[in-house]
Amino acid sequence: LTLLGEFPVEGYARLNPAGDERHLFVTEGDGFRLLDLGGYSLPHGDHDHHHATTPTLTDLRYPAKHPGHVVVHDGRTVLYGDGDGRVRSIDPEDLRDGPTALPKGRTWTERSPHHGVAVEREDGSVITTVGDEESRSGVTIRDAKGRTVASSDECPGVHGEAAAQDGVVVLGCEDGLLVVDGDEITKVDSPDDYGRIGNQAGHDESPFVLGDYKSDPDAELERPTRVSITDTRDASLRLVDLPASYSFRSLGRGPQGEALVLGTDGQLHVIDPESGEITRSTPVVDAWEEPTEWQQARPTLHVQDETAYVTDPSTKTLHMVDIASGEVIRSGVLPVVPDEVDGTRG
């Protein structure tokens, strides 16, 4: 937990994996800026060569008006501009060597800009959300030539995405979920008339998707104490009660597909997604309350391989938790208040 670099940015910045296990995209101003974390591996015959260089916040950026979601799926990285509907899809391997110029990739513009998301699949088809500045309603699937092959308008407030086993993609709605399997779109209804699932965490080797769950449409800030687990094999949804609330930065998945939730009780809860049972709760930070503004710092969970990284803004601390044992294996004090956390395997 040694500090290797510190880089000033303008405004409120977000972090997004670039998909090459070396870089992150930083949403800064009107663009996606490339951050080189400095550790990377290159294939060489039957093995890899591992390299390390000085972390650098590069001057390479993709312009986008109100840059939003970045999705890594099926060997493609797709960047979405909320303000102009401009979407760019690239091969993340083109970044691994540390480019002097960003790859052009494939670009297109959605008809109605909105806070959206796009997912490109291995066959070149694209799943995109549908909406405008006022509302969002569903998704469309287009083939590699841009022809619409399926769509659904049964997803009010569509937000967020996650991938599960066998390339299934799940998107959240204000009244459930959409499960996209190939060109088939299945609506999963929430048990409540208003049951919003807006943030999800998937695992490529698990059929289950972990999601948040909010059921009060009138709440200025709802602090939910239930999470959703969706089985993409039969499009069924289960709600799991927790001993505490959580925030949108509390969800993660373990190496075996475990569902992880960082609660406001300061504990990292491990859920068996098959049974919906909480199998372990590990104290990591002091009890906390979700702040009213989403940009305000709060304890945050990031999972990398077998380790869960948990931040504590109140003490400027970063904790490393071994997911298998539940042991806090290392902690370090940071020189700044941590907000969002992300990383690469190098």
* Tens place of pLDDT per residue across the chain (346 aa): 889 999 999 899 999 999 999 999 999 999 999 999 999 888 888 998 999 999 999 999 999 999 999 999 999 999 999 999 999 999 999 999 899 999 999 999 999 999 999 999 999 999 999 999 999 999 999 999 999 999 999 999 999 999 999 999 999 999 999 999 999 999 999 999 999 999 999 999 999 999 999 999 999 999 999 999 999 999 999 999 999 999 999 999 999 999 999 999 999 999 999 999 999 999 999 999 999 999 999 999 999 999 999 999 999 999 999 999 999 999 999 999 999 999 998 8
- Predicted pLDDT of residue 43: 83
Report pLDDT for 41. 87
pTM of the full predicted structure? 0.95
Q: Phi, psi (5° rounding) for residue 106?
A: -110, 130
Give Cα separations from 261 to 92, 136, 256 (angstroms). Answer: 29, 27, 15
The SS3 assignment for 167 reads helix
Residues 58 and 9 sit within 8 Å (Cβ to Cβ): no
Q: What is the pLDDT of residue 42?
A: 83
Give the position of tokens 């995405």: 161
As a whole number of angstroms, the distance between CA 50 and CA 58 comes to 21
pLDDT of residue 346: 81
Question: What pLDDT is stored for residue 91 in this prediction?
Answer: 98
Say how far apart CA 69 and CA 115 lie, in whole Å: 8
For residue 167, report the phi and psi dihedrals to the nearest 5 degrees. 75, 15
Among residues 200, 202, 174, 199, the alpha carbon closest in space to that of 188 is found at 174
> Alpha-carbon distance 32 to 24, whole Å?
9
Q: What does the pLDDT read at residue 139?
A: 98
Sheet bearing 259-262, strands edge to edge? 251-253, 259-262, 267-272, 277-283
Strands (E), 164-204: 169-173, 176-181, 184-189, 200-201
CA 312/CA 334 separation, integer angstroms: 10
